[in-house]
Each structure stands twice: as C-alpha cells, then as structure tokens.
Structure 1
Amino acid sequence: MDEFTYRDGSLWCEGVSLTSVANRFGTPTYVYSANTLIDHYRRFAKAFDAVNPLICFSAKALSNVHLLRLLGQEGAGIDAVSGGELHRATVAGIDPERTVLAGVGKSEDELRDAVRRKIRCINVESEAEVELLSRIAREEGERPRLAIRVNPDVAPDQRTPARTTTGTRGGKFGVDIERAAALFAHAAADRSLRIEGFHVHLGSPIFDPQVYATALDRLLGLVARLEAEGHRITTLNLGGGFPAEYVDRTAPSWDDFAEVIVHRLAGFRRGGGQVIFEPGRTIAANAGILLSTVRYLKQAGDQQLAVIDAGMTHLARAAMYDSYHFMWPVLPPAEAVPVSRDVSGLAGLTAYDVVGPICESSDYLARGRSLPVLAAGDHLAIFTAGAYGMTMTSNYNSQLRPAEVLVQGDQVTLVRRRETYADLVALELLDTSDHRDG
C-alpha cells in the first residue's frame, strides 16, 4: 500500500527515519514517498492497459510541481481545473498534448490560456461555455478540442460523502444527459471548434465499481445515438474518483474497477477511440503523511485532549468531511508498534480527542481515538494525507503553510519550504502612494 513502515520501533519513509525529518525540517511537514507515488501510478496504468488510456493525474489532489514532474516522467498527463494548475503543469514540463482542463466556472482568461497552450482537451460544462469558447477560438485563430462533461445522474455508493458527489442531477457540474446530444450537435456544427466526445466525473471516493458500470452504460447509449445520427465520437473521459485505502483492505483494487470498465470500452477502443482517466486520490493519498508534534495534553470534561501543531488549516478533510485518517506516534512504545492499521489488539492505549491550534470548534482531527499514551513533544504521523492535504491548506488564523519533503530511497529533498511571516504579508505590503485620494 505504501512505503511508510515501522522499523526497529520507529516510523520510516523508504530509507529515511521520520524522526530525522522532523528534527531537520520541523513540523507540521508533509512527507511524500516517491516510490509509492510511482508504484501506484504504474499499477493503475497496468490495470487499464487493455484500453491504452491517457492518464491525466488530478492536480487538485496534489499539485506540487516536483511531484507532478515525477509523474510526468512516468508518462502521466495532468487534469487541471484552473489556470493556476495549467501553469503548474507547464512548470512541471507536462506536454500540453497530455493536459486536460475541467471546471464548471472557467474564466475567459483561463479558456484563452488553454486555447493558446493547445492542450489535449477542454471539458466544457454548459451551453454558455461552448459559446464563449467558440468566440475565443475565432479571436485566437485556433480550433480547440473539447468534450462535454455529462451529468449521468448516477448516485455513488453510501460511503461517498455527499459533499464530494458530483454526478447526480441538480448538481452544479456538467450538462444533464438529456441535453448533451443537442449540445454536441451544436458544437459539431461550429467550424471554430473540434468536439471529440464526452467527460464524466461521478464524485470521490467511489468504492463500488458498479457505479462506473452504470454511468458508462448510460454514456455509451448517448454515444450510440449520436453515431447513428452521423457524428463521430473519438474521446471518452471517465474522470477519477477511484478510492484510496484510508483503512486497511477496505477499498476495491484497480483490477476490480477495470473488470467492469475495460470490456465496456473494448469496442470504442478498437474503433480508434481515446480513453482518458483522471485519477488523483487513488494514486497520491497513501504516498504522503502529515508529520506533526504534540504541543499540550489537557483534560476537558471526561475527554483527554492532545493538542498538536497541525489543524484544519493544515489538513482540512476531517473538519470538512468528518473523514478518517489513521494516526500513530513516530516513536511508539515497544508494545504499541503497529503491524497494520488495525490496532484494536494492542494494549495500553488511551482514547484521545486530537485537536489542532485553530480557533474553531470544528478543528478536530480525531475524536475518541485509541493511541499510545502521548507526551508533549511526541511526533505524530497522520497517514493517507498525500491527496487533498497540502492543496487544501490555508492561512486562516494567519497560520503558516507547512513545508513539503520528498523522500526517494535514502535521499530527502525539500520541495516546498515552510512559509514565513514575511510570506504571510508579502502581497499586502504595497506602495499605495499613487492611489491615495487627493
């Protein structure tokens, strides 16, 4: 699953002790395993090899340019949802032919940038966006490629949070499937555009492969209807949403998803069609942890609280989605070294509410979590934090964003330095002398 393992009683990332990382770089710090990231990408690609997909890693999950470059060297493209992520893809050296742009509210500048970069595909989400893209294309003298994001009205399984469900009717994303054929025909008649196919994204994480099967069946029905009318569909983008292991052995394998997806796409692929996937969480989540330090222990009513230096500004998922992240000391007592994330059989554990330093009542990373007895100064590792961890950090409470460290073998590289107070106010210290009244 990952290369964060306990060795001689201490947590290591590949060939590097995380105690040494904490001592060298401080906390909170995100630590990524390069070998885990690469291994997950390769195994995902192998599972779907029969349809030879273009795999565009979802930059919203993990956007550090060093890690995007690492995936790009493996052949990955980038799924961007903003002009900023397009820029990151460029800095990371990702070929525009392997870059796609999505997003329900793209600005005119973002669309124009995508057209000028000649990216592989723009996933449009409304009739109005098609009209704007058409105007930009004429002004730029380009003929951009696009796909229509379809909302197939497929409900995910019950384990998918409502706040990350994106494929049901009435949501803000995509075009209702009953309107998609007319919009495709309209775009196909526009000589300034090259409409190639369709895009779907159902939510994240999705644990039931049959959710993809249902959506794909509906999508292929739409394709058959349009082809019967004389249109040619050359691109089908199934998005991302594949799960990660937040708890041991609870998520289906990539082969389980491939089993219901690949044979449905076989005919499309034989006809020369391009399949695109946009995985993010499933590749990156277990490739990263958030390294933190216990600041205080306190009693609050009947609850034992561990106050750590990482909170909702450093890892927002628990406060936003009530999500679960396994956490454990970097140096646990000898009798409490875990061999898996099932620690129910370990002795000497205490129930803690693990909280951060943020002035919000929702700043809990765990409630009633069984952990070894903690002491101030202990380093605590928060696992499965490689996706939607650093990308969702903020400066709320004027907190500084953490550092990011990449480990490959026994090599440690600082890939983003910790913010400073100077960074915090840098954009506010403007020379306003030319803008004063009078």
Structure 2
Amino acid sequence: MDHFLYRDGALFAEDVPVSEIAASVGTPFYCYSTATLTRHFRLFDEALEPLDHLVCFAMKSNSNQAILKTLAELGAGMDVVSGGEYARAKAAGVPGDKIVFSGVGKTATEMRAALEGGIRQFNVESEPEMELLNAVALSMGVVAPVAIRINPDVDARTHAKIATGKSENKFGIPIARARKVYARAASLPGLEVTGIDVHIGSQLTELEPFEQAYKKVAELTEALRDEGHEIRRLDLGGGLGIPYTRSNEAPPLPSEYGDLIKRTLGHLGCEVEIEPGRLISGNAGIMVSAVIYVKNGEGRDFLIVDGAMNDLVRPSMYDAHHDIIPVKEPEPGTAQAPIDIVGPVCESGDTFAKQRHMPPLVSGDLVAFRSAGAYGAVMSSEYNSRPLIPEVLVNGDQFAVIRPRPTFDEMISRDNIPEWLL
C-alpha cells in the first residue's frame, strides 16, 4: 500500500496534487510520502513484537537526510555500508548505538571513524577484515563489537546481481568455517563477539529461502554456545521484496516474515535485528517525468520523457519493471496502445519499458514511475552532464524540496583547471 492515489482525475501524493509539485520544482523529480514511510516501518516494528528487536533501515536504498530523520524519529536504527553512509546517519541524529556497519570492504579509516563516533556493531565479512578491525581497535584503546556474517549457501531465488547468500557470492564467511572463525575472533583482545549476521539477498518474494537460512543460523547459534561463545544478538539482514506491479506480485507480508523469525529463532532468547530497505522506502516514492516527444518509428512508437537512465538506472541495470502511469487519470474505457518509453540519454540502454500499454499522451503530459523510492535517487548520476534531479518529501498537505536540482554552473564549478591550462 502507498499514498499515491488518483483523486478527482489527478494523481495525488498524500494530499498534494503531483502536478502542483511539478509546477513548482520542474521535472523530472523524486517524490516521497511520509505516511507511507511511517506505515511500512511500523509494520516491521510491530511484526517483531514481543521479541527484543531493532529495525535498522538499510540506507543503501535511500540515504536522504530527511528520509533518515523521519525514520529515526520513529525509532529506527540504521544499517550502513560505507563511511559516507555512517556520516549521513550521524548527521541525521542517529546515535551510534543504533548504527550497524555492514559491507565487505571496510577500510581502517572507516573503522576508526565508527569507533570514534559510536557503533552498535560491525558485521565482519572476512578473516582479514577481522584482523584489521582488531588492530585498529587496539591502537585506539577500545573494543569493537562484532557480529560475524556467515554465508549459509542458500539460493535466495532473486536476481543474480542482488543475491548474496550463495557460496559463490563475495559476502560473508562460509558457514562450514564459522566455528573456526569464531574461535579466532574470541582470541582477539580488540573484539567483542556479540552475535551472528546473515543476509541472503534482496527482493525476495517468498519465505522459504529465509527459513532455510534462519534454521542454519539457529543450529550455528546452539553449536557456538556449546563452545562457550556468548551469542546474544542475531542480525538477520533484509531483503523482503515489494510488489513492483499491481497485478501478479504478492510478496510475503512483514507480519508473515515476523512469524517466521519467531518460529525459527524465537526460542534462542536473542535480540533480533533486521535491515529492511526496499520494503520501507520502495513504494514510498515515485519519479515524475514529463513527455518531451511522441515519436513514430518503424514498426513501433516511442514515448520520449525527460527522465533518463542516469536518474533511474534500475531498468537499464537489472531489466527492472516499474509501473508507469499518467499523472492525469485516463477516462474510463480509454484505449491503450503499446509504446516504448525511453529517455534522452545517448544510449539504447536508456529504455524504461518496451511495448508498454499506455493511453494516448502528448508533449508536456506528466507520468509517474511507481515504486521508485528505493535504489532510485541513491544510484543516480550526472551522466551526459545531466543534473541530479530534485527530491521532494510530502507530509499531508505540505511538501518540501529535500535535495535541490543543481545548476549547470554548480556542476561545472566542482571541476578544477590545473595551472598549466590557465
């Protein structure tokens, strides 16, 4: 469910007409709904009751300061995967004891910054990382809290580029080596082992892969405890999918996911952390674009919009589907025809949809790309020297620009000309 609905023939974001935002900020732009963000976070939070738990928002899905602050005020922690994301979380007012640091390539500089600023735990992904973190912590005279990410060799049944739990993926330590690695971690004076971390992939649309992974986590927890390790926290990652189409997708509900966690892990008495990103922010955002031209081609027609692959790369990168709807609601019974929806970037890959059935549209009409709140703005770029597009947050009947569109002069001013060219 989201809060982008037609009302009196026009698409609204909560209580604000989307066309009103377009007139104010120009197109293309991202628009997020506070009500949707709030609802989706609370669904996860309630799904884990009465377990001792923390819902850590996966910032890689959307790291705008206003989004982070909205979620932090609801009680969310943050899952970060870089020093920049850590800095963003802190700037949004998230305390260090609510920040989990994941990622396979943490540097000594990033480790040091997190230890100085406060951290709930590092999710350690390899033995070399574990050794480096120990050395950094000892050099600072502190102890680093860690959970070790295990790779359970479970097929998440998702897109190959976002699967993370198979043995051939770069993430985590093979579960067969876990006991040896935990023994080494326990011997390192700069580390405090707090628990186990697992994350098998993104956009999962069924619960069975989670169940396979969590049963392995339960077995490992009991084995490690038998060997004297204090396992008090289980970080179960994120990955629950969202419906990108309005028809045939029906991913599990957060309540069903929560029931699975309680059934497979609840008996262990551990604190539970989860790291949802897409399910909180995905359907909470749309990208709005304007039609530039309708072009008649040889055997097919093209709807050329002012949004492009640099603004929303998921269709080009993952062949991802986004529902695309007119901002002005078509009259009932309006005929639709297949058309390719493309952007202005000089690559054939700049294609959002092929032979998508759409009602008649003309230059200047607005369209909305649904479910664009996750991995949209955060993956955007200035390719073709196209400015990053604005982000807008709606709250009831008000809206605010939470990231402005830079001018060409601002973009160019970031370049420096060396002395020999002056």
Query: Above 0.5 in TM-score?
Result: yes
Letter in 2 for 1:167: G
Shift in Å at residue 85 of structure 1? 0.3
1:103-252 correspondence to structure 2 within 5 Å: 103-157=103-157, 160-248=158-246, 250-252=250-252
1:38-437 correspondence to structure 2 within 5 Å: 38-157=38-157, 160-248=158-246, 250-269=250-269, 273-335=270-332, 346-429=333-416, 432-433=418-419
Letter in 2 for 1:415: I
Shift in Å at residue 89 of structure 1? 0.2
Q: Which whole-Å CA distance do the structure 2 matches of 1:49 and 1:419 have between them?
A: 43
Q: Tell me which moved more, 70-79 or 226-235.
A: 226-235
Q: Which whole-Å CA distance do the structure 2 matches of 1:155 and 1:175 have between them?
A: 16
**Runs of 4+ off more than 3 Å:** none
Q: Tell me which moved more, 60-69 or 215-224.
A: 215-224
Matched-pair identity in %: 40
1:244 alignment partner, SS class: coil
Q: Which whole-Å CA distance do the structure 1 matches of 2:234 and 2:345 have between them?
A: 43
Unaligned runs of 5+ residues in structure 2 are none
Shift in Å at residue 300 of structure 1? 2.1
2:128 alignment partner, SS class: helix
Provide the alpha-carbon RMSD of the alignment: 1.3
Unaligned runs of 5+ residues in structure 1 are 336-345
Q: Which whole-Å CA distance do the structure 2 matches of 1:172 and 1:43 have between them?
A: 31
Q: Which whole-Å CA distance do the structure 1 matches of 2:264 and 2:124 have between them?
A: 24
- Contact 1:315-1:389 at 8 Å conserved across structures: yes
Q: Which whole-Å CA distance do the structure 1 matches of 2:308 and 2:251 have between them?
A: 27
Q: Which whole-Å CA distance do the structure 1 matches of 2:216 and 2:265 have between them?
A: 13
Cα distance, 1:347–1:333 mapped onto 2, change above 3 Å: closer
Once the two structures are superposed, what CA deviation does each residue of 1:136-161 show, in whole Å capped at 9, x if it has no partner? 0011111010111111000012xx11
Q: How many residue pairs align between the two structures? A: 419
Q: Which whole-Å CA distance do the structure 2 matches of 1:229 and 1:77 have between them?
A: 31
1:259 alignment partner, SS class: helix
Pair 1:23-2:20 in alignment: no
2:155 alignment partner, SS class: coil
Q: Which whole-Å CA distance do the structure 2 matches of 1:86 and 1:422 have between them?
A: 29
Task: Name the residue aligned to 1:343.
Answer: none
Task: Name the residue aligned to 1:338.
Answer: none
Letter in 2 for 1:407: V
- Contact 1:114-1:122 at 8 Å conserved across structures: no
Q: Which whole-Å CA distance do the structure 1 matches of 2:256 and 2:263 have between them?
A: 12
Task: Name the residue aligned to 1:340.
Answer: none
Shift in Å at residue 329 of structure 1? 0.8
Shift in Å at residue 394 of structure 1? 0.7
Letter in 2 for 1:14: E
1:132 alignment partner, SS class: helix
- Contact 1:332-1:372 at 8 Å conserved across structures: no
Shift in Å at residue 423 of structure 1? 2.7
1:51 alignment partner, SS class: coil
Letter in 2 for 1:374: L
Shift in Å at residue 409 of structure 1? 0.4
Shift in Å at residue 255 of structure 1? 1.6
Once the two structures are superposed, what CA deviation does each residue of 1:341-387 show, in whole Å capped at 9, x if it has no partner? xxxxx541111100011111111111111111010110010000000
- Contact 2:43-2:255 at 8 Å conserved across structures: no
Q: Which whole-Å CA distance do the structure 2 matches of 1:230 and 1:103 have between them?
A: 27
Shift in Å at residue 399 of structure 1? 1.2
Q: Which whole-Å CA distance do the structure 2 matches of 1:139 and 1:154 have between them?
A: 37
Q: Which whole-Å CA distance do the structure 1 matches of 2:165 and 2:145 have between them?
A: 23
Letter in 2 for 1:202: I
Q: Which whole-Å CA distance do the structure 2 matches of 1:65 and 1:312 have between them?
A: 23
Once the two structures are superposed, what CA deviation does each residue of 1:380-427 show, in whole Å capped at 9, x if it has no partner? 100000000000001111111100000000011110101221232232
Shift in Å at residue 429 of structure 1? 2.5
Shift in Å at residue 220 of structure 1? 1.4
Once the two structures are superposed, what CA deviation does each residue of 1:241-276 show, in whole Å capped at 9, x if it has no partner? 01112123522211221222212221222xxx2210
Shift in Å at residue 52 of structure 1? 2.9
